């Protein structure tokens, strides 16, 4: 009977450990994320690479044609991802401010950009690359 009880306890610990590891991964935005945007009728794949160190996010965003840009002011708190990206196009610099809620293998939110004096707000939803 003792062996059966010990075996059940050990199996329970293995299940709990696996669940905790899955929850930890889901609660951490570290990794590679992808989504698609459309600009002027052209679709572009976006790749976001994030690293989380105690709530401070670092990483890069790339769209292929625009190259790779470092994220700035990156934070992760209470499941919320926030960062900015400054790019240059046609001699004009502009900053996009992203925010989103992490949920398992997706980040869903919005970003704001001012280009040519016009403010734009768009939604984004990234999926964790496997």
Q: What is the pLDDT of residues 54-84, one digit of tens each?
A: 999 999 999 877 789 999 999 999 999 999 9
Structural domain boundaries enclosing 110: 29-128
Task: Return the CATH number at 53.
Answer: 2.40.128.30
User: How wide is the angle at C-alpha 38 spanned by C-alphas 86 and 65, nearest 5°?
Assistant: 55
Query: Given pLDDT bands bounded at 50, 70 and 90, which one contains residue 20?
Result: very low
- Both tokens of 36, joined, read 């698609």
- Both tokens of 3, joined, read 């062996």
Least confident of 12-16, 33-37, 52-56, 107-111: 12-16
To the nearest whole percent, how much of the chain has pLDDT over 90? 59
On whether residue 94 sits in a domain, the answer given is yes
On whether residue 93 sits in a domain, the answer given is yes
On whether residue 52 sits in a domain, the answer given is yes
On whether residue 36 sits in a domain, the answer given is yes
On whether residue 73 sits in a domain, the answer given is yes
On whether residue 82 sits in a domain, the answer given is yes
- What are the CA-CA distances from residue 100 to residues 62, 72, 78, 106 (Å)? 18, 15, 11, 9
The number of folded domains in the chain is 1
Which residues, listed in sequence order, are joined to residue 89 by a DSSP beta bridge? 92
On whether residue 1 sits in a domain, the answer given is no
On whether residue 117 sits in a domain, the answer given is yes
């Amino acid at each position: 009977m003792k062996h059966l009880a010990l075996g059940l306890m050990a199996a329970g610990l293995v299940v709990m450990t696996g669940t905790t590891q899955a929850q930890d991964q889901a609660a951490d935005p570290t990794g590679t994320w992808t989504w698609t945007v459309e600009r002027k009728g052209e679709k572009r794949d976006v790749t976001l690479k994030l690293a989380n160190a105690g709530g401070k996010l670092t990483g890069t965003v790339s769209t292929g044609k625009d190259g790779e840009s470092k994220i700035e002011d990156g934070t992760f708190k209470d499941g919320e991802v926030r960062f900015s990206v400054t790019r240059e196009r046609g001699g004009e610099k502009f900053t996009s401010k992203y925010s989103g809620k992490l949920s398992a293998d997706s980040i869903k939110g919005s970003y704001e950009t001012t280009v040519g004096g016009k403010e734009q707000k768009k939604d984004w939803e990234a999926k964790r690359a496997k």
